[in-house]
Amino acid sequence: MEKLEMVSDENASVETAGRVFTQQRTLWQWLVGGMLVLLIGSWFVWLSIYLQRNFAEEDIRAACQRVMPETVQRCVDTVVIQRGGARR
């Protein structure tokens, strides 16, 4: 005949409480990870926009320097306005 062991309710409740804690911990990890991904992603988007804008301005400034060396700033302002962007 097989030996049977009686399982008390205390062990089951401790096991269930541990499982709930682990699920809550996993949920918090996902939330914190998601927030970090959003923050890092938005920072990369901002950085790419900033760099693109600076490179475009440098290109405009270089072209204006070649064409109109005496009035570079006026040329840059005119080109930026014509393109539809406000530089400042």
Q: Indicate the range of 7-16, 37-46, 78-87 predicted with least confidence.
A: 7-16
- Domain membership flag for residue 2: no
pLDDT of residue 12: 54
Domain annotation covers residue 43? yes
Q: Which residues constitute the domain of residue 54?
A: 13-83
Residue 5 has pLDDT above 70, yes or no: yes
* 5 domain residue, yes or no: no
| 1 lies in some domain | no
Could you tell me if residue 40 is inside a domain? yes
Considering the domain boundaries, does residue 6 fall inside one?
A: no
Question: What pLDDT, in 10s, does the model give residues 24-68?
Answer: 888 899 999 999 999 999 999 999 999 999 999 999 999 999 999
Q: From residue 52, give the alpha-carbon distance in Å to each of 45, 48, 66.
A: 11, 6, 21
Say what the pTM is.
0.59
Residue 55 lies in a domain: yes
Is position 4 within any domain?
A: no
Residue with the larger pLDDT of the pair 1 and 71: 71
Residue scoring higher pLDDT (22 or 66): 66
Number of domains, the chain: 1
Q: What tokens appear for 83 in the block?
A: 């393109």
